Structure 1
């Protein structure tokens, strides 16, 4: 298993309007000792230039797409971006790939069909372009995609999962592949307001069958998915409370087999504002 790392997953790094603010936030995370900055790659037809701006503006911290959609970003573009970023910033860029969701792909130029087969074709194209497995990671949830992540990439970056999935993912990946789950957190010890903030995040994801089907494999039901999620499901997905409560929840994923937890601080959906104070507090305990 790889050495434990603590990382950041925050939409701010793509959504932030100011390049200066984004790079300044990245530099602070670097100084605090975070390992990697993960952020959404959106649904455009290329890997956003913002990832390169963060690499150019920092010196050590890793940068990863979480994730680039294989239905939207052509494999040739993904390979070219990775090659350029790796050439100029060796060992600092990781291409996170995902099969996205039918609701996102429908109506686009691509048709959502056999996502596993599409991922295999995409990886074949990356290999043909000269990319190595170590340069990519898959947003794998189910057993087949986890096996593919083990065999043809550096590992898996599961999103919107519970600690039980982290246990199963480690078993599927074996001891050597990277396992870097995203874990969203709320630093608020009031149950009502903390869960309300959490549900601003969970509501959209619980409308996507890829996520709910995965959760069903671990015993969750339609009753848990209603109205933004039952209290029990919200609590299982999203550590909330004091700094000690939240870090204890994050630690359960390391105990379950994660090499790297990519922490997303939920701040009421305000993606244009970076929650610097929260990441400082988390670094003080976890790093």
Structure 2
């Protein structure tokens, strides 16, 4: 039987942005060499799903996940074709991260999407997929119809609550914005743009309120909200934040490393974080 990528998932993963010059493939090889437990290809803005195929081919054994494939952009047939192609060359290495079921009935939308994945020939099995879940009902869906959940923009307190909903058997993979910079203003500014955008779409505003952030925090992308959602500072501060998520019940923390105004490259930051976080 093929070992699935989610079996024995290690504690620290990292996201990978696709670059027009193809440099992300070199980045993927570097990240695998550094020992990250999974590479999560940022998928919300992908024009096609080909980069996921390419990253699998550019690496040797590391699990590769989609973070995420939006259900309102890609069809179940697209996802089935992606898995079929990857399984042909690298069985068990693809983690199918799904989300983006916005609108009036997101649960119905996602259930219908999963129905088609189940009915495909071959299917995309539940134990190879995770859902971008935030609210209690979507977390329950991730528990019941997938291997687990892949939330973003959450606190360690949310992680503990999500673990309670998911139970012990489901995976909880938490995506965490990271800014490796000790200057408070520069660090917060580096995270403010992506958080400002996300905090206004889909289920994020409602979940931010559930976590105790006010409408004013959300409207202003306040320092308080950024400090609650982002691991920033030196490597020790980031390690402490990652540790809080793991202690709260996360199986893996995925580092979403943001560049700052400094001259330090992402590659240098990935190396420093790997040295601090990966045994």
RMSD of aligned residue pairs (Cα, Å) = 2.1
Give the CA deviation at 1:209.
Answer: 5.1
Call closer, same or farther: CA 1:44–1:280 in 2, change over 3 Å: closer
Q: Which segments of 5 or more consecutive residues in structure 2 lack a partner in the other structure?
A: 1-6
1:9 and 2:1 matched: no
Deviates more, 1:126-135 or 1:78-87: 78-87
Call closer, same or farther: CA 1:113–1:209 in 2, change over 3 Å: closer
2:41 alignment partner, one of 14, 34, 39? 39
1:149-168 matches, within 5 Å, as 149-168=142-161
For 2:169, the equivalent position in structure 1 comes to 176
1:139 and 2:140 matched: no
2:224 alignment partner, one of 219, 223, 232? 232
For 1:29, the equivalent position in structure 2 comes to 31
For 2:56, the equivalent position in structure 1 comes to 55
Q: Which segments of 5 or more consecutive residues in structure 1 lack a partner in the other structure?
A: 102-111
Query: Using the alignment, how far apart are the partners of 1:17 and 1:37 within structure 2?
Result: 18
Aligned residues: 269
Give the CA deviation at 1:226.
Answer: 2.8
1:249 alignment partner, one of 220, 241, 251? 241
SS at match of 2:44: coil
Give the CA deviation at 1:247.
Answer: 1.3
SS at match of 1:180: strand
Give the CA deviation at 1:18.
Answer: 2.1
Query: Using the alignment, how far apart are the partners of 2:259 and 2:201 within structure 1?
Result: 22
1:98-137 matches, within 5 Å, as 98-101=99-102, 112-129=103-120, 130-137=123-130
TM-score by length of 1: 0.88
For 2:199, the equivalent position in structure 1 comes to 206
